[in-house]
Amino acid sequence: MRNWIVLLFFCSFILFSSCRRNPLDIDVSGVKTEPVKIGRFEKDLFQAPLNPQALASKYGDFYRGFVETTLCPNGIDDPACPGGIRSFVNDKDVRSAYADCEKTFPSMSGFEENLDDAFRHFHYYFPARPLPKVNTMMSYFNYSMLRLDKSIGIGLEMYLGADCDYYKRLEYPKYKTATMRKEYMLPDFVKAWMIVEFEEKNLKADFLTRIVTEGKISYLMDALLPKMDDTLKMGYSQNQLNWCKQNEGHIWSFFIKRKILYSTDYQEITQFTNIGPFTTGFSKESPARTGSWIGWQIVRAYMAKNKNVTLQQLMDEKDAQKLLSASSYRPKI
């Protein structure tokens, strides 16, 4: 009898474990991609003497795009552009921030390993799509991520830590600096990459479409970063994430009762999708972007209920109402 009890417990444990297994946590060790090698553009840019020709040769369109986006709005061929580049490179404050970036990020090897795993997952789901080139950069607090042609630039100075003195001097609010840390670099990169990779055009300008569209991007992050905690994907603290889970039914009921789902009022939409200290209309314990979080849960419910739908088919579905109906999303209050 004792043996039967042990066997029953073991079988129950296996069943429970299999139910909780993340279906997106797949083995991609056999997926072949080129090893990720991140270009250290900021190192080459700040290396003396400044050599624009060498930079243009090594980084191609990324160099031109960076210069024209951050330093020379009138174009790289503007006669004043070389002087603008030199002024940037030789600026005392820029140099100081660059020195801090070098101390914080002496090597990108760990990030390359994590990004390599995300690239393998992407190639598994989208084998025909090319992978981007990746460069680190420093635009003096202008961009955390910058997509230029086939490359993505990572602004290292935007990940120096929540207590960074520069952020205090720039008077960044705490809710913003809370995510300006190393651990947010990978989810930020994947999110920025997916937004550009699956750029949505000519969509309805209503609340439901907005949150479902953002939810699809978050679900892609689930697929590419299956072991990453949801707090990092949303930029939430654990308490904020717990608040959303505990109040999911109330949030959804609020949207339904206030008839917000089909609202096209920009101010009303951004109230529930923009970053901030909390969501206006809810308690101060709530995080910002509760609408975006609900959109993510809708997409998760849809994919759980429609297991044969591929990620490409998910991204091809532009009808947010159709997706909501097919999700059977009904959180309990």
Q: Crossing angle of helices 109-125/185-197, nearest 10°?
A: 30
CB half-sphere exposure, 16, CA atoms < 13 A? 6
Nearest residue to 291 via CA among 268, 310, 314, 309: 268
Backbone angles phi, psi at 134, to 5 degrees: -130, 130
DSSP state of 287: P
Asked whether 216 and 316 are in contact (CB, 8 A), the reply is no
Q: Which residues pair with 280 in a beta bridge?
A: 282
Read off the pLDDT of residues 3-13 as tens digits, 9 standing for 90 and up: 544 444 444 44
3-state helix, strand, coil in the chain (%, to 5): 55, 5, 40
Asked whether 238 and 229 are in contact (CB, 8 A), the reply is no
Amino acid of residue 87: S
CA torsion 269→273→277→280, rounded to 10°?
Answer: 30
Burial class (CB in 10 A: 0-12, 13-18, 19+), 240: buried
Residue in the structure block whose two tokens are 């550009």? 196
Question: Length of the chain in residues, anyone?
Answer: 333
Tokens describing residue 57: 């040769």
Asked whether 97 and 140 are in contact (CB, 8 A), the reply is yes
Asked whether 74 and 81 are in contact (CB, 8 A), the reply is yes
Nearest residue to 260 via CA among 215, 210, 302, 325: 210
pTM, full prediction:
0.92
| pLDDT over 70 percentage in the chain | 94
Radius of gyration from C-alpha coordinates of the chain: 23
Question: Angle at Cα 303 formed by Cα 240 and Cα 219, nearest 5°?
Answer: 45
Q: Which residues of 193-215 are buried (b: 16+ CB within 10 A; e: fewer)?
A: bbbebbeeeeeeebbbbbbbbbb
Q: Crossing angle of helices 320-327/207-224, nearest 10°?
A: 70
Asked whether 76 and 70 are in contact (CB, 8 A), the reply is no
Q: What was the pLDDT predicted at 37?
A: 96
Q: What was the pLDDT predicted at 14?
A: 45
Read off the pLDDT of residues 134-163 as tens digits, 9 standing for 90 and up: 999 999 999 999 998 889 999 999 999 999
Mean pLDDT by 10 residues, the chain (333 residues): 47 47 90 96 94 94 96 95 95 96 96 97 97 96 93 98 96 97 98 94 92 98 98 98 98 97 97 97 97 98 97 97 97 92
Asked whether 206 and 270 are in contact (CB, 8 A), the reply is no
Q: What was the pLDDT predicted at 20?
A: 61
Asked whether 298 and 324 are in contact (CB, 8 A), the reply is yes
